[in-house]
Each structure stands twice: as structure tokens, then as C-alpha cells.
Amino acid sequence: MSSSDPIVDVRSAAEAVSADDESMAPLHQIESLCMRCGENGITRLLLTRIPHFREVVLMAFECPHCHERNNEVQFAGQLQPRGCCYSLKIPSGDRKMLNRQVVKSDSASIKIPELDFEIPTEAQRGTLSTVEGILLRAVDELQALQDERKRVDPETAEALDRFLMKLKSCAIGDVSFTLILDDPAGNSFIENPFAPSMDPSLTIKFYERTPEQQASLGFAVESSSGEIQVDNDALPDERNHVPGGTIKEPHGAVGAVACHRSIAQGNSDEFAAALFKYSAPEEVMTFPSTCGSCAAGCETRMFVTKIPYFQQVIVMASTCDACGYRNSELKAGGHVPEKGKRITVLVKNKDDLSRDVIKSDHASVKVPELDLELASGTLGGLVTTIEGLIVQICENLDRVHGFGCGDSLDDWKRSKWQDFNARLNKLLNVEEPWTLILDDGLARSFVSPVTDAIEDDHQLIFEEYERSWDQNEELGLNDIDTSSADIYYDTNTTTTTSTTTTSTT
């Protein structure tokens, strides 16, 4: 470190890294206490963005007295709507697989089922490393107190030595194993060198957080009595207000009062127009909820409407007055259909890009001309157009697939990404016809026709198919047991019949 490098206090560095303009956040240095020798060392902070991923704050500490060094990564952006779980199968002898980049957030845990080994959330903080680096760090931390264990508990120390040999074998690639990275915040990541194509060794699943996970991330959760629990000490008084009870209002009355904005006012004009073009809702329900950004109390508005040629849908929209966060969501109503549905659209001109699209949480997206396939749950539920869907795919790839550019990137990888982006732009310009396929096992996705009668639209094909056992298992349909409800229903029916007979007699 040169003598000209400035050393600032913690507050100045925090204000710099929280600035909106990345160009105004240079490298900052803070004088920090070394936990090994007790002398003062230097912590360097840098707000940066991992290409095609997210904004992060990189922190590196170095002590000039005892040469202690460590680094940490924290996320500067918002939490993701759902948690993520990465499962990477690593065969024995494949050293390249161990060099894959891994971003682990503070809330993520790592498991190796073959060793019955888990790195809990609090064991390793946010890191930017590789598969090999994470395992070797775990080995070093487990070995730290081995000498003391051998004096106090020799049997435990000997068992731990045997386990460390197995863990080292995984770290150097001598044995095959599975690395599972589970992050309720959705901010962790494992590199896919084949992106945007699917990686046969890497499985990604997105899931809804449990109430316990919500609470651990700082979200307000509902208690067993149904009341929303909010930390009153952590929020200003004006953010602690939770509307009491659920109210119903005629659709025309919503928006008449400033505090009750309509769904159209709480979202973009395009979204409102896409919803109300089918049928205006007769009744809008308003109920209390929690902001997903600041955890303050807010209101969610919901209405039920019927889309022609489709089914009944539930539309929900939330607006937070405290932080300005907006969110909209669409859920399909009704029962679970017996068959899945595959929708195929042939896009021939730019008019086809304006077709309305409803994509459910469970639908997968394919574009055969690009060899592009997005697994179910990748983009979540969307109400958009074909053009908007392709734009969402571009933005999602830029955000999720990390390490796609930079000085250390191989030339062939850079050219691969550039070529893929150019081909995506060709889809938006419709330079040649291409095909969009939505495959939804729950048949809750929809693409609007361009003709008055859906059977007259020859560019739009709806196909129904029988779900496989694996699809039903993924959707949780194989384990559905309604026997208790059936018994209760049959009992009530018998009782009602007996009562009616007695009354007649």
C-alpha cells in the first residue's frame, strides 16, 4: 500500500458504497482491528458488479503485522422473490469442475450428501470462490483446533481426521460427490460454463420460502393467530401501520380516495391495459400484507376475472407507500387439470410480438431456433407479451449467468455470448420466422390469438398431454392424500341425510 492511499472512516466508506452511481464508488480503505494479533490492519471495500449477476460489495482485510488475510462478499441489491437451490454433480478426476466459480451469500448453506456434511449459514460468510476453494476452506477451519481436540478428546479427533481425509479427496477430485448450495435469499450462484444452454451436471430449483426462512431474512411473518408480526423497533412509526381486516369495494370506488389507489394506478399502464382488455373486475378485495422490500405494512388488491379461451385467474397487485415498491402477480384459479398443455406459437412478423402471454410459475420456455430452454420457475409468473417475454429472458440471462465477460474470460466464451445476444436481437427484429413453445404441466399458461375465433389462428397450436410421474412428483401431485377430507365429507353427507329423513318422518 502506498502512503498516498487514503484511509477513511467506516461511515464515509459506507456512504460511498451505497451511492447510486457506481463510478463514484472507488476503492476505500478502513483501519480495522486484526482478530489474530490485536494490531490494526487495513480493510478495503469496493462496490462492483459481477457481469451478468448482481451488485456486490467486496471486502478484503490484510494485517501487516501477522500477515492475516481474509475476504468477504456482501450483496448490495435486493433479496430475490424466491429461494434457490443449486445441485452440482462432480465426477471423480474432473479438475475443471472444481474450478467453477461459486458465489455464496450470508444466508446460504452448503451440503455434500455423500459425506453427510453440511456447512451451515453461520460457518462461512458471503464468499466469492470456487468449489475447490470452499472445500479447502472448510478443511482448514475444521483442522484449526485439532491439536487441542487430540489432548482433550482423542477419539473425536481421530474420527475427524478420517473425515478430513474424505473431504480432502473431494476437494482434489479423487472421488465423485454432489455439492448442494441452498440459499433462501436467492442471491447465491454456481457458474454454468455452457450458458445459455442447459448444464447436464447442474440442477437449479427455485422455491417459496418457509415462514422460518422469511423470519431469518428479516421479513415480517404471520403468527399462528393470523396477525402479522413486525419488529416495531426496526421500523419508523409511519411504517408500522397494518390495515385492519379485509375490505371489499366496488371496482369503480377504488382509486376515488388517495390512499386506495386502483390497480391501474399501482402498476404500469401496459399491465393494466393487458388485464382490463378482457373483462373489468366487478369487485376488488383489499387486504393487509407486508412489503417484500422494506417489510413495512402495505395493502394488496386482488380481483378475479375470466379470460376468454382460457380460465378464471386471480390478479394481485401491491404498492408500498413507505418505499415505493410495486409488485404484481397473476395466479390461475380453479382445479388442477388432469392434463398438461403445450403452446406453440409461430412468430412471423412484428405484429405477433404483441400477442398477450400469461406464463405461470411452472411453465418452461423453449426457442428451438436458438437451442434455448428455460426450466420451469426460471422467470416466475408473468403477464406480458411475446416481445416482453424475450426481453425478460435477455435481462434474466444478464442477471443470473455470472462471469460472462471480463478480462479473465476466454475469447471463445466471449464470442459465444456475443453471438447469442445477436441472435436474441434477431428474434426481436423478426428477421426470420421463429417458434416459441410454452410447456406447462398445470395448463395455466396462455397466448392470445390474433383472430376473433381461436381455431382460425393457424400460427397458434394448443396441445394437451398426459403428465409423467416425474412431472407429477415435481408438482407435488403424487403425494396428495384427500382420504381424510373424503371421510369428513361422507360423514357430513350421511348426517345431513339422516337429519332430513328424521325431519320428514
Task: Say which CATH topology domain 25-74 has.
Answer: N-terminal domain of TfIIb (2.20.25)
Query: Other C-beta atoms within 10 Å of 320: how many?
Result: 22
Question: Which region among 59-68, 258-267, 336-345 has the lowest average model confidence (pLDDT)?
Answer: 258-267
Q: Do the domains 83-209 and 270-332 sit in the same CATH topology, yes or no?
A: no
Percentage above 70 pLDDT, the chain: 71
Rounded distance, CA 75 to CA 465, Å?
42
pTM score, two decimals? 0.47
First to last CA, the chain: 99
DSSP assignment of 137-172: HHHHHHHTTHHHHHHH-HHHHHHHHHHHHHHHHHHT
DSSP, res 468 = P
- Band of pLDDT at residue 114, cut at 50, 70 and 90: very high
163 and 170 in contact (C-beta within 8 Å)? no
Closest CA to 424 of 384, 394, 397: 394
Domain borders along the chain are 25-74, 83-209, 270-332, 339-402+412-475
Q: What is the average pLDDT across 386-415? A: 70
pLDDT at 496: 56
More confident residue, 401 or 239: 401
Rounded distance, CA 337 to CA 360, Å?
14
Inform me whether the pLDDT recorded for 231 exceeds 70.
no
Rounded distance, CA 348 to CA 118, Å?
51
- Band of pLDDT at residue 181, cut at 50, 70 and 90: very high
pLDDT at 102: 87
C-alpha cell at 416: 459465444
| CATH architecture for residues 83-209 | Sandwich (2.60)
Q: For 189-212, write each residue's pLDDT tens digit.
A: 888 887 767 788 898 888 888 888
The tally of CA atoms less than 13 A away on the side-chain side of residue 107 is: 21
More confident residue, 186 or 309: 186
Q: Does the CA dihedral 21-22-23-24 come out positive or negative? A: positive
More confident residue, 355 or 216: 355
Which amino acid makes up residue 40? N
Specify the 3-state DSSP secondary structure of 97: helix
Rounded distance, CA 463 to CA 320, Å?
40
Task: Say which CATH topology domain 339-402+412-475 has.
Answer: Jelly Rolls (2.60.120)
Q: For 234-272, write each residue's pLDDT tens digit.
A: 344 443 444 444 444 444 333 333 333 333 344 445 555
Is residue 133 packed enough to be buried (19+ CB in 10 Å), middle (13-18) or exposed (0-12)? middle
Q: Is the peptide bond before 184 cis (omega within 30 degrees of 0)?
A: no
Rounded distance, CA 7 to CA 1, Å?
11
Closest CA to 218 of 229, 207, 206, 226: 229
pLDDT at 112: 93
Q: For 404-415, write each residue's pLDDT tens digit.
A: 555 556 677 777
Alpha-carbon separation of residue 463 from 333, 339, 344, 454, 460 (angstroms): 20, 10, 8, 13, 10
Residues linked to residue 365 through DSSP beta bridges, in sequence order:
374, 438
Question: With respect to CATH, is domain 270-332 assigned 2.20.25.420?
Answer: yes
Specify the 3-state DSSP secondary structure of 369: helix
More confident residue, 490 or 160: 160
